[in-house]
Chains A and B, each alone.
Chain A
């Protein structure tokens, strides 16, 4: 079934398909890059600097100790988030963030909330097993 020649052809085809798929994706990312504010950009780096993903999820991806934060900004507002960021909780440490870091994180969470809805209740399931919002 698999002669040496066939193995090489299949492997070559798969590699070409994979590279084409990868580079096609890199050059046609799902969201066309619109301008992002400096604060949002900084917020993303502050998010990573404090490793927020270890406990929190965005679109259901991340840690399980804290809640998913995809739409927290639009549902609860900045003051609610600010209270947590500045005081911590029984589980979450107070990171002693300065004012600029807090504002940057709020801008980033606002940007995430505007990107879509992460709540599974907003999806419908099609007969073929796929889902849509």
Chain B
């Protein structure tokens, strides 16, 4: 492997630093949105919920995209031992993405929306994202070389990059009246694209996590193993065909629902494997828990189990009927985005950014507090969402339904717990990312003035 800190990696680090800033921004908007649940009408005249929600969602999605991009470039260079094909393309991609994100966030404040459910912005702003992603694809293909005898993570990165491009373009088919003029057609294609898009960025994150595990364990046995490829193909199969579990109640083709139901159940194999390997995972966790990056992998492991269990349960149409449209779906999304994706991305961020000219040692106590605060509060946050979801599910199926606003009042205790845990969680995450950002920014300016990169390894293989 090439040295982990070199001048060539500077632009990759900028992707990760920008990602951490977006994580902070996303949490701020998330907490503000939570407050609007508690205080109806809060900021209604300036930043109503229809602005806050996309500000939160886009910040968080770009946290995932920026960090994954930085991770793929860094790890691909370390994997091949050769420089990435074009530093210029990386810099252009970084500039395009950064300007796009700023414009997108400003557009929401100005009341300009794409108006789609989940991740949305004006279609014009999708063009630079596509252009930047094509540069990413070119750089990846030129740098990775042949696919022969490549470990599983190279396959996963390529899959993630390719499918993100396909599904992102697919999510804009609505601009053609043929797709958007009927609500059922529109929602079917929309959830086909979004369901698979989430799978595509998961491929980038999980691929990078497998690389990191190899790096920590100093062995490439797993990433070349048949089990790794079997799990990859199950993941790819689900990415392609399980998206229909989002739209069981939509009057769309029945075959879409049946295919999704059957394919979603293949995830039981992954769940079974986690349970089967439980003891080995716990023993490895105990051995490596002192390593900062590894700690996040351990946390993500626990969340993979909880989220996957919930995902499989709510993928059964008969159960989904009760949970669909309730906060149980939000609990699943939050478990996956924070518990799995964000913890894995933080593991990667610590691996990429920790070797700076300044020591991390003075911040270890702060980090430990932040780590436990984030984990415990996330669990409380998750439980409060499930609780709210159960109450709403009972309301949805009740024969004598009280008005929607009265049902929302019944959810208030859950929203209070949800808000408090969100504030604590944000504090925990800030304790984790603040020292990392501070050291990197200070050392970046030091590097700019002295022209020398200095490193300070505070923890072996951290």
Per-position 1/0 for A57-88, Cβ under 8 A of B: 11111111111100000000000000000000
The one of B41, B113, B256 that contacts A49, using a Cβ cutoff of 8 Å:
B113
A118 to chain B, nearest CB (A): 6
Per-position 1/0 for A32-75, Cβ under 8 A of B: 01101000110011011111111101111111111110000000
Are A54 and B53 in touch, CB under 8 angstroms? Answer: yes
Interface of B is mostly: helix
The one of B36, B189, B241 that contacts A26, using a Cβ cutoff of 8 Å:
B189
Are A131 and B317 in touch, CB under 8 angstroms? Answer: yes
The verdict on B258 contacting chain A, using a C-beta distance below 8 Å, is: yes
Are A133 and B251 in touch, CB under 8 angstroms? Answer: yes
Docked pose: A106 CA to B299 CA in angstroms: 48
Residue count of chain A within 8 Å CB distance of chain B: 63
Q: Which residues of B contact A123 (CB under 8 A)?
A: 249, 321
Are B251 and A7 in touch, CB under 8 angstroms? Answer: no
A residues 1-55 near B (Cβ < 8 Å) are: 1-2, 4, 7-8, 10-11, 14, 17-18, 21-22, 25-26, 29-31, 33-34, 36, 40-41, 44-45, 47-55
Are B185 and A130 in touch, CB under 8 angstroms? Answer: no
**Residue in A closest to B329 when the chains form the complex, CB atoms:** A60
The verdict on B192 contacting chain A, using a C-beta distance below 8 Å, is: yes
Are A61 and B117 in touch, CB under 8 angstroms? Answer: yes
Q: Which residues of A contact B186 (CB under 8 A)?
A: 44
Q: Which residues of B contact A40 (CB under 8 A)?
A: 181
The verdict on A112 contacting chain B, using a C-beta distance below 8 Å, is: yes
Q: How large is the interface on B (under 10, 10 to 19, 20 to 34, 35 or more residues)?
A: 35 or more
Q: Which residues of A contact B241 (CB under 8 A)?
A: 18, 21
Q: Given contacts A17-B240, A51-B54, is CB(A125)–CB(B257) below 8 Å?
A: no
B382 to chain A, nearest CB (A): 16
Q: Given contacts A31-B184, A52-B115, is CB(A59)–CB(B41) below 8 Å?
A: no
B residues 287-333 near A (Cβ < 8 Å) are: 316-322, 324-325, 327, 330
**Residue in B closest to A123 when the chains form the complex, CB atoms:** B321
Are B321 and A31 in touch, CB under 8 angstroms? Answer: no
The verdict on B276 contacting chain A, using a C-beta distance below 8 Å, is: no
The verdict on B237 contacting chain A, using a C-beta distance below 8 Å, is: yes
The one of A1, A58, A68, A91 that contacts B226, using a Cβ cutoff of 8 Å:
A1
Are A120 and B322 in touch, CB under 8 angstroms? Answer: yes
B residues 23-45 near A (Cβ < 8 Å) are: 36-37, 40-41, 44-45
Are A31 and B327 in touch, CB under 8 angstroms? Answer: no
Q: Given contacts A91-B41, A129-B316, A129-B318, is CB(A50)–CB(B226) below 8 Å?
A: no
Docked pose: A26 CA to B246 CA in angstroms: 18
Q: Which residues of A contact B249 (CB under 8 A)?
A: 59-60, 118, 120, 123, 131
Docked pose: A10 CA to B234 CA in angstroms: 11
Q: Which residues of A contact B173 (CB under 8 A)?
A: 26
The verdict on B187 contacting chain A, using a C-beta distance below 8 Å, is: yes
The 7 closest A-B pairs by CB, nearest first: A48-B115, A60-B325, A1-B226, A116-B251, A54-B50, A125-B318, A51-B113
Given A51-B51, A52-B115, 5 new contacts (CB under 8 A)? A33-B185, A45-B115, A93-B48, A116-B250, A125-B318
